[in-house]
Amino acid sequence: MNAEPPVLQVRDLVKHYSVGGGFFGRGRKQLRAVDGVSFSIGQGETLGLVGESGCGKSTVGKAVLRLVEPTSGHVSLEGEEITGLGSAALLERRKRMQVIFQDPYSSLNPRMTAGEIVQEPLINFGIGSRAEQRDRVAMLFARVGLRPDQRANYPHEFSGGQRQRLGIARALALGPSVIIGDEPVSALDVSVQAQVINLMMDLQQEFGLSYLFVAHDLGVVEHISHRVAVMYLGKIVEIAARAALFETPRHPYTEALLAAVPVSHPRARRARTVLTGDVPSPINPPPGCRFHTRCPIAVARCRQEEPALVLDASGHGVACHLRAATA
């Protein structure tokens, strides 16, 4: 990696939700959705973030964007700490960091035309004249593979893949450096998934974008990711360059996720771990290693002592007492 500061840096990010309880909030419990997550993303880099449903991926994205207020932790965008910024200053930074959701249909205003949807951020931020805005919208439509005449259409007139292209065009309108994709292709057919992923990779090249790309399936992130982080119950349990993660996974949870998807790395197929049972509740996560209740190799220590995420010299990190980095 080069010496440039990361475009996005997240340190010790925590988000706990207060849930349940009766009248006056008595008996409320803390749900540990995200419980100390750290990573960084360089310019033009994609970090894939993977884990079963409920492990905290969306909450990481929302807390980084400050769509939810983090309980604690630090987020820096282009070298500037944005945690603690007031709403006006934060709004300004939002130009640099945009989001694409899984279901663009629910995130796109059904009463606006596609052209208006892409133009709206430019209007909100007062960028350019109306004519310049329309030129930019036309350019963005072309870049994401939508026809010029489709600017007059409404979201319901688009297919799922086209709606996701529209969501991408809107996210690009303000010229961001970071895009957080929260399962942006999970609702699409496999063939359409590949088209949208290829489009995102082309756009990354063209605009030097950095991506945090969230998916529940390792197979989905393999093609687009430079590095991959695997989350389990609010924590990153493994993080590594793509090839290292797919060819020499270390965490038993990563092995289990790999065993569940057809991936193109034959060595990974040796893993025979099959995940059984559901993810435990983040309200009372298991003591010690959170994965020990489902882990095929857990020993006594794993039930008592929480393993830290330890990175080796190559940057391959694993949080496991038995598979810790040796370097």
Closest CB to Mg ion among 214 and 295? 214
Shorter beta-carbon distance to ligand ADP: residue 59 or 177? 59
* Count of residues of this chain found to bind ligand ADP when the rule CB under 6 A is applied: 13
Indicate which of Mg ion, ligand ADP, none lies near residue 285 (CB less than 5 to 8 Å, by partner kind).
none
Structure tokens at 314: 């190559």
Determine the 3-state secondary structure of 17 from DSSP: strand
Alpha-carbon distance of 87 to 108, in angstroms, equals 23
Q: How far apart, in Å, are the Cα atoms of 195 and each of 23, 39, 89, 159, 223?
A: 50, 28, 36, 13, 12
56 near ligand ADP (CB under 6 A): yes
* 7, 13, 55, 224: which one binds ligand ADP (CB under 6 A): 55
Q: Between 190-207 and 160-172, two packed helices, what is the crossing angle to 10 degrees? A: 20
Residue choice 59, 102, 225, 273 for contact with ligand ADP (CB under 6 A): 59
* Residue 256-285 contact track with ligand ADP, rule CB under 6 A, x = bound: --------------------------x---
Contacting Mg ion within 50-89 (CB under 5 A): 58
Question: Contact 187/163 with Cβ under 8 angstroms?
Answer: no
CA–CA dist 35, 246 (Å, integer): 25
Nearer to ligand ADP, 47 or 172 (CB): 47
Q: Which of 7, 10, 13, 31 binds ligand ADP (CB under 6 A)?
A: 31
- Give the helix/strand (H/E) hosting 36: strand 29-41
Residues near ligand ADP, by CB under 6 A: 17, 19, 31, 33, 51, 53-59, 282
